[in-house]
A and B are shown apart, each in its own frame.
Chain A
Amino acid sequence: MPPVIEARGITKRFPGVVANDNVNFTLEQGEIHALLGENGAGKSTLMNIIYSLYQPDEGEILVNGEPAEFHSPTDAINRGIGMVHQHFMLVPVMTVTENSMLGLEETVGSRRISAVVGGILAVTLGFMIGGGGAALSSPEVGLSVWGFIGAVVGAAFAAAMIFLDLPSRMSSSVGRNLIGPLAGVGFGLGYYVLTDLILGAQGGLLNWLLTGATVGFFTNLRWIDKQEVAQRVKRLSDDYGLAVDPYATIQDMPVGAQQRVEIIKALYRDARVLILDEPTAVLTPQEADDLFDVMRRLRDSGVSIIFISHKLREVLDIADRITVLRRGQVVGSAVPENATRESLARMMLSLIHI
């Protein structure tokens, strides 16, 4: 079985410094692999390359044995790689649920509700176009029949968009976003030709185009199903003993809990690889022990974890395998059974070369 992640010959230069110099690194399925090194050894750079925040100058990343072309963190997320940064990437004013689904919102039943809104809008616009404007100033002026029919047809159109669910069938995001408005404009154009040109009503081309486009736009709005997401967050929290309330607001939570939200956010994105960048730096010793329990539970369920740290005790405590970086180079690797604090410290400081 190929390693989950393999970094081959990664080199990354920043002005005046080589952050990673021909680094090789592998992560096996279901292991906790500690990346050990002093501040500035290149640990975070390597992880940011794996997470595609940076592009390497040389070398390649293989995911499950296949070369991976990553251009942005979105690509990494799609390949099942999640990262918990030292500085949390959460929206403080939002709840755990809202943060978890950010960018990946569940939209069950969305189009039905959009259709209702679109339909109401179509009726209103049709009313205005069909002589509602005239009726504004003098109530005795009746509505144009064609405006009324147009409104009803517009509403039916919105319903049809939903029924056929055209937007979801589009493969590209451009198609998904444009199909509604385009179909709407088509509807408006067709209705204009029918009523104004053939039947001699006075709706006006612009009005009908606008009606159609507006209705189309609203059939495209996606409605969030928060409860569904909250249930999933709750399950993830229970499964891994994360003890997070899905409805709590981030800014009210202690740092340790915020970190667990970051883990949930990654798991919510189906991460099979979790990169934890100095996770214990912000925690109390008790919180760190709790985190280690969570990490073990994740590992046992098959998640592979990269654990970045410069604390020897923690690395020996939790890791299955240890790789030591110094000045951008891999200076050694070890398993905790055969390593001591002294041997690791020597590697970190390069007192010996293996």
Chain B
Amino acid sequence: MATVSKAQDDTTQRSFFQELSKVLSENIRDYGMFIALFVIMAIFTITTDGIFISSRNISNLLNQTGYLAVLGVGMTLVIVIRHIDLSVGFLSGFLGAVAAIAMTSWNLPVGIVIPMTLVLGTIAGLIAGFLVAEMNIPAFVVTLAGWLIYRGAILLVTEDTGTIVIPNDTFNAIGNGFIPDIAGLPFLREQVHQLTLLLGIIAIGLFIFSEIRGRQKKMSYELEVLPMEIFIMKLLLVSGIVAGITWVLAGFNGLSWTVVIVLAVVALYHFVSTQTVLGRHIYAVGGNPEAAELSGISVKRITFAVFASMGTLSALSGILFASRLQSATTTAGTLFELDAIAAAFVGGVSAAGGVGKVTGALIGALVMTSLINGMNLMGIGISRQYMVRGAVLAAAVLFDVVTRNRQG
């Protein structure tokens, strides 16, 4: 992750702040989005007199981020292999409507509806993947066609009924429910969600453990590591942020199911993209398709896999959104694709291919949703909101281009 400090005796001669600025400037691509998120949150906290950072709003914000983060994760991989998927918004809206219809009109149990919706999403992704990989049609065109088709489809299935209200409590809990609490830990008498707190503590423990182990492993292979002071500061900073979020959430209703699902998806995609052969092949195809093909990697198969995963995640996003609204509307999914693409770019994916982390997409989605949420709290009109979001997207890509040129 960080590449700092060539020789040990070299580092000891520099002061802590020199070291810090060096680390920051060398890893600006990694840290930039965190800084952006922090600045945005600080600004909104001030301009809304603290309403933005309140437990209720943060909980709400994270739930709003869910459907977008899931799309952003899939979109990151699509952009990594140098393609784009414009159809995800209306595909997710359409599949949300299909799920609603399956429950209300076909009376299917929710345990069947959710897997069915996910499978339909995968099939939709495979179709796009087929047209891109086998037929060599540019992804832009394929998914633009998908955008039109799914937009038509969602209008078609909601034509007679208009908005379909979903009466199923289980389904609606996905977007609105919170994880159950455990019975009283003795040392806490306040109204806090104890399981959330416990999970937060476990997460911090795991994070510190894995960071220390990773550092030791790197050192044993004589790799460059962060200087000790900065390593400790990083641990404290991240632990502090996790602890803060946990405390804020525990003060309201605790972790929502949406957050649990999003974290599971991000963890899964992070694992696959960084630790498995499949993940490495995806990045290799993005970095240099010709070299990947010559190394025996099937570019076609990777393209199929990435578009199929995008389809599945679109379906998940549709489920999250329909569940959150407790209904399927005729306009569900509008502009999701652009927010997802924006989230991916803010999260550090590069249009040149081969670069970008799925964890970045989560941060990118948080940035985009924070903007919407904060500006709503401030009472800024929708017209200006679009302009601000556009400016942030442009700034993110500009940042990518500038820092890349400097590195090259």
Contacts and interface: CB of A to CB of B under 8 A. Distances in A.
Contacts of B297: 102-103
B290 A206 contact: no
A222 interface: yes
Contacts of B284: 91, 94, 98, 102
Contacts of A86: none
Interface string A226-254: 01001000000000000000010001100
A84 to B, nearest CB: 11
Interface residues of B, number: 43
Nearest to A105: B277
Contacts of A117: 271
Interface in A143-199: none
B223 interface: yes
A207 B290 contact: no
SS of B interface (majority): helix
Given A91-B291, A134-B170, A137-B172, A230 B221 contact: yes
A91 B276 contact: no
Contacts of B173: 136-137
Interface string B354-375: 1100000000000000000000
A65 interface: no
A339 interface: no
A73 B170 CA distance: 54
Contacts of A62: none
Interface string B304-326: 00000000000000000000000
A105 B172 CA distance: 43
Instruction: Find the residue from A92, A137, A202, A247 having the highest chain B CB count within 10 A.
Output: A137
B232 interface: no
B277 A224 contact: yes
A124 interface: yes
Nearest to B352: A93
Contacts of A247: 223
Contact of A206 (B116, B291, B292): B116
B146 to A, nearest CB: 24
A104 interface: yes
Contacts of B271: 117
A207 B169 contact: no
B280 A102 contact: yes
Contacts of B269: none
Contact of B169 (A137, A202, A252): A137
Interface in B102-123: 109-112, 115-116, 119
Contacts of A133: 110-111, 170
Instruction: Find the residue from A93, A124, A206 having the highest chain B CB count within 10 A.
Output: A93
A275 interface: no
A252 B224 CA distance: 16
Given A93-B287, A94-B284, A136-B257, A103 B111 contact: no
A228 B283 CA distance: 20
Contacts of A207: 111-112, 115
B115 A210 contact: yes
B280 A89 contact: no
B275 A224 contact: yes
Contacts of A90: 288, 291
B408 interface: yes
B257 A77 contact: no
A89 B180 contact: no
Interface of A: 73-74, 77, 88-94, 98-99, 102-105, 107, 113, 117, 124, 128-129, 133-139, 202-204, 206-207, 210, 221-224, 227, 230, 247, 251-252
14 contacts: A89-B288, A89-B295, A91-B287, A92-B288, A92-B354, A93-B355, A98-B284, A102-B295, A136-B177, A138-B169, A202-B111, A210-B115, A223-B275, A224-B275
Sort A-B residue pairs by CB-CB distance and give the 5 closest, nearest first. Answer: A139-B180, A91-B287, A103-B295, A103-B296, A89-B291
